[in-house]
Structure 1
Amino acid sequence: MEYQPYSIRKLLDSVKNGAIRIPAFQRGFVWDMDRVSYLMDSIYKGYPFGSLLFWRTKNQLAVERNLGRFELPKPEEEYPIDYVLDGQQRLTSIFTVFQNELIPKEDPNWSDVFFDMDAEDNAQDCQFIALDEQSYDRNRFFPLSVLFDSVKYREATEGLSVEKISTIDKLQEKFKEITIPVQVLKTENRSIVAIVFERINRLGLELDTLQLLAAWTWNEDFDLLEKFRELKDDLAEFGFEGVGDDSDLILDCAAAVLKGEPGAEKLLELNGNEVRSEFSRVQNGIKGAIDFLRTQFKISTLKNLPYPMLLVPLSVFFAEPDGKEVSYNSDTYAKIKRWFWRTCFSARYGSQTRRAVIRDIQEIEKLKHGKDNRLDEIDYNLGISFFTENVFRVTTANTKTFVLVLANNTPKSLVSGKNIDLEKVLQRYNRSEFHHIYPKAFLRDNGTPDNQINSLVNFCFLSSAENKLIGKKRPSDYINIVAESPTRSLVLKSAFCEEARFDDDFLSFSTSRAQMLLEFSNDLMK
């Protein structure tokens, strides 16, 4: 990183000759005119107003943004090019206020900034104001746009009193002498640029890495943003539009497929041609992973997935070019199944996720190519406490894992005995689709603590309408509402329940059901 002070004149000239540019991943100009006026006041009074950060590179980006109202000219020289990483709003304000050579686009929100010669000179009040150029009082307001143009400056001072000309001369002198601190990052390593930009904006606007990458991969035949929109539309048909909304997740999948590690910064190590030529593998990998999750684990939306990063190794496994599919045998399927369930129950994606995902990417690649691997060698220690001590909250990973266990046991309606429409229920996926087996009111009347009432073991698929039929009834009473025998035993079994445990003894019920859930879950992980 190098420090270089810039005069306002140098900034104006550098923008005008195309050396300073705005990358496409920057947001547009958003300041209002009051903020612009206060920036001028801070510069005039010598108050700190922040530094600028430029990224200096030999390579011009394929896609760039205008500087506020100005379409920037092509660089007069090929090198260097300075892209603004931080301070775009300040730079745009300074350039727009003082430049008078480039023709701006019309913008009804912009007004020229003037120095108020009659304003009181104190530390608090702003001495600058934005005005409609057609209506200002020349004897009171002086346009800043002429300060760096000697001819227009002389014209603007004509007719002013000697005292006011002296004031304006001092104004001009201050702005000509001011230096603006600029830090220059010199690198061709775009992953470093991404990290720096992200850290700068962490407390403000988050880095849109997708736009960053799109700017670097764009050509007339390939628009990464459009490719992501198309992918989102494709996934929406299967209830997975949420994947398309989560650009970080897609970028993690893309990085894993193309670079073997999650993290958008890994993609930025590739050149545009590499991303463009390999993007079909990314698309096919994500689509294949989602199809596998839907058909093999009853996952209907991204919201059902206990850990979204599970999608990343699976995308690597299914990533193939157009026209080619991954073929695998029963042993491979069994390994992936064990890996999935063991990862969910062990919560190993709950912390130090990156390390676990990288390990799984490496192992699933070995599995894909028929090599020895340890994909499913995951330590887990599942006991009935998982079901009796975890509280049911639809947003937590443990609850989502529990719901998937229920879904993979072909659940039936407790009232009608019909198979539950999992696609419909899980795509809605909200609290109203699940209710207590031992009614909450009944348990509270018996002094059962809320943490036990709301534990996973006391929940099943149960619609609001069915729940009303149960109401505040004792389990020994409402068991008669459940489908008649022999269907009743099958219905209860699909919900991991035994008819004998509807005897109003919640402890006995919860212990029995937790054991059934545990045995089934352990079978899933075998």
Structure 2
Amino acid sequence: MEPVLMYYRLFELFRAIDNGVIRVPSFQRHFLWDAANILDLVKSVYNGFPIGVIIFFESGENIFDTADPSVTNFPAVENLETRHNYPINYVIDGLQRLSSLYNCFHWKALEQASKFNIIFDIEKEELLQYSSYSSPGKYIHLSSIFSSEMFIDSQIKLMSYNNSEKILNIASELHSRFQEYTIPVMKITGTDTKDVVTVFERLNSSGVSLTEAEILRARSELEKD
């Protein structure tokens, strides 16, 4: 196994998820983080703090069955094999972090309360979960940061307020912080899938080992082909 450390911006990771280049093997655990965990993670990114290394197993072929979106909170990518987007990067460690960030920056139901619906209070310059009952007067949805159209719409709205120049500068700084943030990614390459499972088990914070049935299930669908 040959580990290589690389750095990626958030939008690069998100694009790879959308294209099916980053996938989650079916032996991964369900998403477990609560609202406080997610908000703390996003605050760390905003402040430029490190959030740890994401670990991928890079393969030139489809070696694991992909976990259901209910496990990953990633979008379902249809006809993955027809896309020829190789190599594939299987998430071995960092699913909770990666899934949290992806969903926060892609949340579409802007008026719906959710642990993924995070906004930035312009006046207090702080991040918080959206609430229809107690939202601040001036705010930006985090999901607008990587959408040019949504961010422009947010800027237009902010221009209508008094002291708009200062407000727009704050919004621009917010945009830059997330656009420029990089995450270290350790890529492991090789051919022995048993080594991949061993790495996963040792990194799994729950300390629960995979059963033989779980390992076999991760490959079962592929072996039918």
TM-score, normalisation: structure 2: 0.83
Higher RCO, 1 vs 2 (CA within 8 Å, ≥6 residues apart): 2
Residue in 2 that maps onto 1:83? 90
Q: Kindly indicate whether the alpha-carbon contact (under 8 Å) linking 1:59 and 1:81 is maintained by their aligned counterparts in 2.
A: yes
Residue in 1 that maps onto 2:128? 129
State the Cα deviation string for residues 69-116 of structure 1 (Å, max 9, x = none). Answer: 63234442242111100000010011111136xx89xx9854411112
Change (3 A) 1:8 1:69: closer
**Aligned-partner residue type, residue 173 of structure 2:** K
**Counterpart-to-counterpart distance in 1, 2:74 and 2:219:** 23
**Aligned-partner residue type, residue 91 of structure 1:** L
**Counterpart-to-counterpart distance in 1, 2:84 and 2:136:** 40
- How much is the aligned-residue C-alpha RMSD, in angstroms? 2.4
Matches within 5 A, 1:381-460: none
**Counterpart-to-counterpart distance in 1, 2:219 and 2:175:** 41
Q: Secondary structure at 2:157's aligned position in 1?
A: coil
Cα drift, residue 36 of structure 1: 1.1
Q: 2:38 aligns with which of 15, 36, 39?
A: 36
Q: Kindly indicate whether the alpha-carbon contact (under 8 Å) linking 2:104 and 2:116 is maintained by their aligned counterparts in 1.
A: no
Residue in 2 that maps onto 1:145? 143
**Counterpart-to-counterpart distance in 2, 1:78 and 1:114:** 33
**Aligned-partner residue type, residue 79 of structure 1:** Y
Q: Secondary structure at 2:37's aligned position in 1?
A: helix
- The structure whose Rg is larger is 1
Q: 1:217 aligns with which of 209, 215, 220?
A: 220
**Aligned-partner residue type, residue 184 of structure 1:** K
Q: Kindly indicate whether the alpha-carbon contact (under 8 Å) linking 2:22 and 2:88 is maintained by their aligned counterparts in 1.
A: yes
Structure 1 residue 175 corresponds to structure 2 residue 182: no
**Counterpart-to-counterpart distance in 1, 2:93 and 2:194:** 17
**Counterpart-to-counterpart distance in 2, 1:196 and 1:169:** 40
Q: 1:114 aligns with which of 114, 119, 131?
A: 119
**Aligned-partner residue type, residue 147 of structure 2:** D
Cα drift, residue 68 of structure 1: 1.2
Q: Secondary structure at 2:188's aligned position in 1?
A: strand
Structure 1 residue 4 corresponds to structure 2 residue 6: yes
- Over the matched positions of the two proteins, sequence identity in percent amounts to 27
TM-score, normalisation: structure 1: 0.37
**Counterpart-to-counterpart distance in 1, 2:66 and 2:49:** 35
Cα drift, residue 64 of structure 1: 2.4
Gaps of 5+ in 2: 159-163
State the Cα deviation string for residues 252-310 of structure 1 (Å, max 9, x = none). Answer: xxxxxxxxxxxxxxxxxxxx47xxxxxxxxxxxxxxxxxxxxxxxxxxxxxxxxxxxxx
Q: 2:152 aligns with which of 141, 154, 162?
A: 154
How many aligned positions are there? 209
**Counterpart-to-counterpart distance in 2, 1:209 and 1:99:** 34
Gaps of 5+ in 1: 121-126, 220-271, 274-526
Change (3 A) 1:45 1:74: farther
**Greater strand proportion:** 2
Q: Secondary structure at 2:24's aligned position in 1?
A: strand
Residue in 2 that maps onto 1:96? 103
Q: Secondary structure at 2:20's aligned position in 1?
A: coil
State the Cα deviation string for residues 397-436 of structure 1 (Å, max 9, x = none). Answer: xxxxxxxxxxxxxxxxxxxxxxxxxxxxxxxxxxxxxxxx
Matches within 5 A, 1:491-510: none
Matches within 5 A, 1:452-471: none
Cα drift, residue 135 of structure 1: 5.4
**Aligned-partner residue type, residue 140 of structure 1:** K
